[in-house]
Structure formats: structure tokens, C-alpha cells
Structure 1
Amino acid sequence: MSVPERDGFHLKPRRRLRRPMVLTPLVDIVFLLLTFFMLSSQLAPFSTLAFQDGASPPSLTSSASAVASDARFETLLSVGAGRLRLNGQDVTGAELRDRLRAEIASGATRLTLLASQDATVQDFVSALEVAKQSAFPSITVANMR
């Protein structure tokens, strides 16, 4: 309790000092939230794709050794900006599904989808969707550097 001061016959209440608002606790909370969301976004990457009926894609070393041992069963689909090449031959988007099914019928078991640097995301996703619809047993994704 504050003790009133005397000013003659009138009592004046003692003035309260106003403390400035301290922002340190608020900054701490914002920093903790920022750290939490940065860590949680790293734990669940958004670019993960499922291949081979839910299995993870093979590593580069196992993929490279598999290609060397069984090259005749490998099919290569190259995706560029608006262009598709299947085993070195230009293919249109309309005929890609039929050509991929023909590859499966001839005994191909693996498809490597190779994205060039000028390929757009839409080109890549469209080619990947057609490849998944053609029911290749194994799809591997790679990019050119």
C-alpha cells in the first residue's frame, strides 16, 4: 500500500511508476515457434514420392549395378521442356502410354525417368503419371546435371 503524502490539509495519493512493456518473453515464444516449425518441416519432406507399390526408390549404387547386369530390361524415358524421348526416339504425349505398354509386353521390367534441367515440373509429373498408369513393375527417377 502506498502511503499518502501530506500537502497541507489535502492528501495526495502517491504516483505509481509505469513500467515499460518488456518484449523479451514474446520474442522467446516467437523464436521457439519458428524453431519448432522449421524442424517439423525437415522431418516430413514434402518431395517424397512412393515407387514400386509403396516401397522406397532404390539407391543409386544398387540401381547402377542392376542396370549393368540387366540392361536389356531397362527402358529410358527422358523428359525435357515439352519433349519426351523413349529409348532415344522422340515420342508425343499421346502415344507415350501405348509405347510404354509395348515396352512392358516386350519384357521390360524397369523404367528410368530422366528429367533434364530444362524440364518443368508439369512435364515431369505428366510423364510420371503415364508411367504409373502403364503399370511398370519398377520406376526409377533421376535428373541430369
Structure 2
Amino acid sequence: MAKRSIRELPRSERRYTFALTPLADAMFQLLIFFMLTSSLTPYSLLTLQSGPGTGAAPGAQETTVEPPGEAAASWTIENGEIVANGQRFGFESLPQLAQALVAADTPRVLLISSARARVQDIVTVLEILAAANVASVQIVSRGTQ
């Protein structure tokens, strides 16, 4: 009996590939996890402090001397409201109030932020005053109540 030689089939080289899809999936899951678990400072808290060089203690009331001839309006910002001249106005009245300031030639506004005022309230008032071309706006904090 003759021995038959068995020919071996040619072996192909193994090619290893690296798929990036599972890695990208894991990275997105980690990104979402860290975004949801991180504790950022709440955007609705805005800490107002006295300016540099004033030497005022936090919470102390400061007085400013206005240049002669320049009147200033004083508005208190509360949660969704403005108190001007002892009257309460909603934010829907802000454009008319700002136009009244311009018409009365009052170039300066002092915004007093109460403890209940939100950052969005302050931003809304600043945007409306900028749109009405009010020349100068100062923001002060009334402090905690």
C-alpha cells in the first residue's frame, strides 16, 4: 500500500483588525456618565461683591457720589419683578420703563439685586437697558434677607 501524501492546504495569514465602534460607544457612555454626575455651581446663583479698592465689608451699604447734572434711577430686581419709584412692575413693562428713562434724560441706572433675584432676571434687565441705549448701569447687591 502506497502512502498517499496529504497536501496541506495553504494557510492564509491571520489579519487582526481593530474596530473603533465599541471604543466610541464606551467613550460616549463615559461622557454622559460624567456629565450627569458632575456637580457644577448652579447658574442661578450670582454672587455680587463690592468692587476692588472700596474697602467695604460684605453686606455693608455703600454710598456713591453722583456727578452733578447726571440723575440716576434706582431699580430693585426681585424674582420676576422690578420695583421702581415704589411701584412694582412685571418684566413685560421693562421696555416702556427703559424708554421713559431715555426720554427723561436719565443716563444712569442703579440695579439693586435682592436675595430672591435670579441671574436670568438680571440678564433680562441688562438686555433691555442696552437695547434702550442707557449709558451706564451699576449692579449692587442688597444682601441676604
Question: When the two structures are superposed, what TM-score results if normalisation uses the length of structure 1?
Answer: 0.51
Give runs of ≥4 in structure 1 deviating > 4 Å: 57-61, 69-72
Taking a change above 3 Å as real, the CA distance of residues 58 and 128 of structure 1, as seen in their structure-2 partners, is farther
Structure 2: segments with no counterpart, 5+ residues: 1-45, 56-62
For 1:121 and 1:105, locate their aligned partners in 2 and report how far apart those are by CA, in whole Å: 28
Aligned to 1:108: 106
- Note if 1:73 corresponds to 2:71: yes
**Higher helix proportion:** 1
Aligned to 2:118: 120
Aligned to 1:88: 86
Instruction: Spell out, residue by residue over 1:28-62, the C-alpha distance to the aligned partner (whole angstroms, 9 max, x if none).
Output: xxxxxxxxxxxxxxxxxxx9xxxxxxxxx99869x
**Matching of residues 2-81 of structure 1 within 5 Å:** 64-66=64-66, 70=68, 73-81=71-79
Q: What is the total number of aligned residue pairs between the two structures?
A: 88
The one-letter code sitting in structure 1 at the alignment partner of 2:65 is S
The answer as to whether partners of 1:112 and 1:140 remain within 8 angstroms in 2 is: yes
Q: Percent identity?
A: 22
Aligned to 1:21: none
Instruction: Spell out, residue by residue over 1:58-89, the C-alpha distance to the aligned partner (whole angstroms, 9 max, x if none).
Output: 9869x7011xx548711111111122112322
For 2:135 and 2:52, locate their aligned partners in 1 and report how far apart those are by CA, in whole Å: 13
Aligned to 1:98: 96
Higher relative contact order (CA 8 A, sep 6+): 2
Taking a change above 3 Å as real, the CA distance of residues 65 and 58 of structure 1, as seen in their structure-2 partners, is farther
The answer as to whether partners of 1:84 and 1:92 remain within 8 angstroms in 2 is: yes
For 1:71 and 1:119, locate their aligned partners in 2 and report how far apart those are by CA, in whole Å: 31
The answer as to whether partners of 1:85 and 1:91 remain within 8 angstroms in 2 is: yes
